[in-house]
Amino acid sequence: MSTQKNQTSEAKYYDYFNTNHLKSNLKQRSVRGGVVTITAQASKFILKFGSTAVLARLLVPEDYGLIGMATVVVGFVEYFKDLGLSAATIQRAEINHKQVSTLFWINLGVSCLVALIVALLAPAIANFYHEPRLKKITLGLAINFIFGGLTVQHQALLRRQMQFTSLAKIEVVSMTLGVFTAIIAAYSGLRYWALVLMLIAIAISNAIGVWLACGWRPGLPSRNSGVLKMLAFGGNLTGFNLVNYFSRNLDNVLIGRRWGSQELGLYAQAYKLVLLPIQQINNPISSVALPTLASLQSQPEKYCRFYYQAMLSISTLGMPIIGFLFASANDVILLLLGEQWLETVPIFKLLMPAAFNATIGVGMGWAYQSLGNVGRQFRWGIVSSMLNAVLFFIGVRWGAIGVAAVFGLSRPFFLLAGFTYCFAQTPLKLTKLISTLSMPTLASIGAAIILSYIKLVLPIEINTLMIVLIDLGFYTLLYLLIWILLPNGRKTLWEMVQLSKVLRQR
């Protein structure tokens, strides 16, 4: 009877597990997915920038600092709700209803446990920072874990089936509801609680949206479902995420502990603004690239060709944004955040090398995970995290600006070492990657240097918005001009223009 029931469930949800129908038009699906997800991220980018500009004028650096203190710990334990099992579901060639159901209950059980642990840690977090307000903030953020655990496998199945339109709609609607919640709360004088309520609203609306979009419903967990290999995959990936998160957030802990919420608020806001545009590009392209690469892992030639094309696309979009933000940092900060945040400008500029490298650093994760080499990724994470920790302990002596300096200026060396180790024993070649990325890199840096020099020798005293728009237009022209003047630049740029026309038609 049980076997018959499992077979019935397997047949009912077969479309969510089988991916053979995707392979016949994989390229078209990838292209359409890229267009949809990038469009969604553009909408989210506008929402985030708009909300940042509004909330920065309603809140003070201390409010952001308080949330930054709490989210360091909360964000760390959040990785346990996923356990890398969403990536395992996407990466695996074949899965079934029993496996996904078992993974669902593992995710949900761990998420509830994590929520309880975070709630119990709330007094300790408040005592560590000598900030009693953090106790209630942490308790409020603990709620998110339960809703997160409910969505892990549903989101993974939607990505596995390349249903990017549904995922994009959910993300945009959730972000919109969260932003409006935060603005209303901030106008009502709730201060830092506005940021807490925004995160809770996003988590709840996202969970509801995912369950409505994905028709799969979990069955009972099974001991003999064959998920051990998937758990091993997820364990290595979770291990990497944890050590990587530790190294990326130790800076916040050290600044908050030694210099307080005001200094941390400046650093956290600068860091957020630096990475915000990159996340809007990396996240959608990654959501398309990872399942596509996973489906091509048995075809090395096609795998490499898609990988380099994806890396060229992500760098062409991301690098010029970072170059422009560096050249116009003072005016951008003034426009978005106001005069009270101008102290973030030097921190903002020192973090730019990290953001520049982040535009392509995501490619390491694609290679590791799509080829199943998450054990190597975990080992690299341990080494790089230890080195980051040493740098942060050195830099914190000079406050937020010292931490920004050591982190930003060290990133190019980490990037080169990381890709060298990542590509070992794979069909990917570092020389080919460098050649692929040379044009957007040189054009972005060159345009930023020229624009910075022009702004220095020819300052303009007009409306800040007009200055930013003029800078953006001039930077774009410089970027395109330098690209065209580079060897084979005109040909490569024309090919990308033709590809963009195809994307719009599809």
- The more confidently predicted of residues 256 and 476 is 476
Q: pLDDT at position 187, please?
A: 87
**Residue pair 9/219 in contact by the 8 Å Cβ criterion:** yes
Q: Write the pLDDT tens digit of every residue in 212-233.
A: 888 888 888 777 766 777 767 7
Residues 6 or more apart whose Cβ sits within 8 Å of residue 90: 156, 159, 160, 290, 291, 294
Identify the weakest region by mean pLDDT among 255-264, 348-357, 493-502: 493-502
Q: Write the pLDDT tens digit of every residue in 266-277.
A: 888 888 888 777
Which of 27-41, 268-282, 484-498: highest mean pLDDT? 268-282
- Long-range contacts of residues 335-341, Cβ cutoff 8 Å, at least 24 apart: 335/53, 335/464, 335/465, 335/468, 336/49, 336/52, 336/53, 336/56, 336/273, 337/52, 337/53, 337/56, 337/57, 337/269, 337/273, 338/56, 338/57, 340/60, 340/61, 341/56, 341/61, 341/266, 341/269
Alpha helices, DSSP H, located in 94-151: 97-129, 134-149
Residue 65, pLDDT > 90, answer: no
CA dist 242 → 34, 153, 237, 377, 428 (Å): 28, 20, 9, 12, 26
The Cα–Cα gap between 366 and 191 comes to 39
Task: Give the domain ranges of the chain.
Answer: 264-506
- What mean pLDDT comes out for the span 414-430? 92
Q: pLDDT at position 390, please?
A: 92
Q: pLDDT at position 181, please?
A: 92
The Cα–Cα gap between 197 and 187 comes to 13
Residues 6 or more apart whose Cβ sits within 8 Å of residue 463: none
Q: pLDDT at position 146, please?
A: 86
Q: pLDDT at position 506, please?
A: 43
Residue 223 has phi, psi (to 5 degrees) of -70, -35
Angle at alpha carbon of residue 346, lines to 340 and 349, rounded to 5°: 120
Closest alpha carbon to 103 in 287, 289, 111, 75: 111
398: number of Cβ within 10 Å: 12
**Within 13 Å of residue 493, how many CA atoms lie on the same side as its CB?**
16
Q: pLDDT at position 233, please?
A: 72
The Cα–Cα gap between 467 and 373 comes to 47
Angle at alpha carbon of residue 369, lines to 434 and 367, rounded to 5°: 15
State the Rg of the chain over Cα. 23
375 pLDDT tier (thresholds 50, 70, 90): confident
Q: pLDDT at position 502, please?
A: 46
pTM for this prediction: 0.65
- What mean pLDDT comes out for the span 435-443? 91
- The more confidently predicted of residues 208 and 230 is 208
Alpha helices, DSSP H, located in 130-192: 134-149, 152-160, 164-187
Helix (H) or strand (E) holding 271: helix 228-295
Closest alpha carbon to 317 in 435, 440, 433: 440
Residues 6 or more apart whose Cβ sits within 8 Å of residue 31: 502, 503, 506
The Cα–Cα gap between 491 and 493 comes to 6
* Structure tokens belonging to residue 406: 């050591």
Residue 332, pLDDT > 60, answer: yes
Alpha helices, DSSP H, located in 371-398: 374-395
The Cα–Cα gap between 247 and 446 comes to 31
- What mean pLDDT comes out for the span 312-340? 88
The Cα–Cα gap between 72 and 76 comes to 6
- The more confidently predicted of residues 461 and 12 is 461
**Residue pair 325/381 in contact by the 8 Å Cβ criterion:** no
